[in-house]
Amino acid sequence: MTTPLLRTALLAGVLAGLALPAGAGSVDKGRTLYLNNCLVCHGMPPDQLSNPSVLAGTDAPANIRHAINSQVQMRHLATLTDTDLANIATFLGKPSTTDADRTFDWGETAYPELLAPAKAKSAVYDGYYYRYYSTTNVYIGIKNGRLYFLDGNVPGEPLDLAPADYYLGQAEAAGF
Ligand code: HEC
């Protein structure tokens, strides 16, 4: 069993060494884009697409681009960027989740000894969207776009680890 301080250093150190992969999609950004650009024709929940399989896997953004280029009614959406389409595709693949929960779910599999037991329930406190892990007595939370870590065994403020998007990229790359 490592000491609490060592655990904190470990988490910060390991996570800080990872780079954000290209093409990571955000469910939350994708949801906003979908609501503003697609909802009017394709409905909510997004079940109106005639062929849901075009939205599966890494081809999904290209398939949306194809629809924009080939469907007269979608031509006005040509200004959406590839990043926009990646975010929309990510949302369409996981419409019922949030970026924070994807990040936490990934963290539980990447750091099972630290974030235990897995499948902790998300909750809100003081602007944090967070999960508490009763076995290890630690918290992870997101507030104002930053990811925080708090070790309940050590007095002090939550530790600001990095931008939440940074970890979201890891979650996305790992399929969450
Ligand atoms: C003005 C109406 C309209 C808007 C807005 C619109 N679409 Fe479409 N879309 C259509 C029509 C019509 C089709 C062709 C018929 C069909 O496949 O359902 C289509 C087809 C598609 C297809 C082809 C395959 C399929 O499953 O139907 C995809 C993918 C798609 N749209 C995604 C989107 C996305 C993502 C957005 C928002 C960025 C969007 N559409 C906005 C009308 C629209």
pLDDT tens-place string over residues 27-72: 999 999 999 999 888 887 776 566 666 776 678 899 999 999 999 9
Q: How far apart are CA 125 and CA 88, in angstroms?
A: 29
Say which amino acid occupies 159.
L
Over residues 106-110, mean pLDDT = 97
Over residues 78-107, mean pLDDT = 93
Clarify whether residues 88 and 119 are in a common domain. Answer: no
Over residues 164-173, mean pLDDT = 92
- Bond prior to 21 in cis (omega within 30° of 0): no
Closest-lying ligand 1 atom to the alpha carbon of residue 55: 29
Pick the last residue of a domain from 93, 120, 138. Answer: 93
Interacting residues of 43 by C-beta distance below 8 A, sequence separation 6+: none
pLDDT of residue 22: 41
Q: Where are the alpha helices (DSSP H) in the chain?
A: 4-16, 27-37, 39-42, 60-70, 82-93, 99-110, 164-173
Q: How far apart are CA 143 and CA 91, in angstroms?
A: 21
Clarify whether residues 36 and 87 are in a common domain. Answer: yes
Clarify whether residues 88 and 105 are in a common domain. Answer: no
Clarify whether residues 13 and 50 are in a common domain. Answer: no
Q: What distance in angstroms lies between residue 168's CA and the mean position of ligand 1's atoms?
A: 27
Higher pLDDT, 68 or 16: 68
The helix (run of H) or strand (run of E) holding residue 131 is: strand 128-133
Local structure of 25: helix, strand or coil:
coil
Sheet of 159-163: strand order equals 122-125, 128-133, 138-143, 146-151, 159-163
Note down the domain range covering 136: 4-20+97-173
Q: Indicate which residue's Cα is closest to atom 2 of ligand 1.
A: 41
Pick the last residue of a domain from 60, 77, 93. Answer: 93
Clarify whether residues 16 and 48 are in a common domain. Answer: no
Clarify whether residues 40 and 75 are in a common domain. Answer: yes
Pick the last residue of a domain from 43, 60, 93. Answer: 93
**Total tally of structural domains belonging to the chain:** 2
Closest-lying ligand 1 atom to the alpha carbon of residue 48: 18
Q: How far apart are CA 31 and CA 52, in angstroms?
A: 17
Residue 136 near residue 116, CB atoms below 8 Å: yes
Over residues 94-109, mean pLDDT = 93
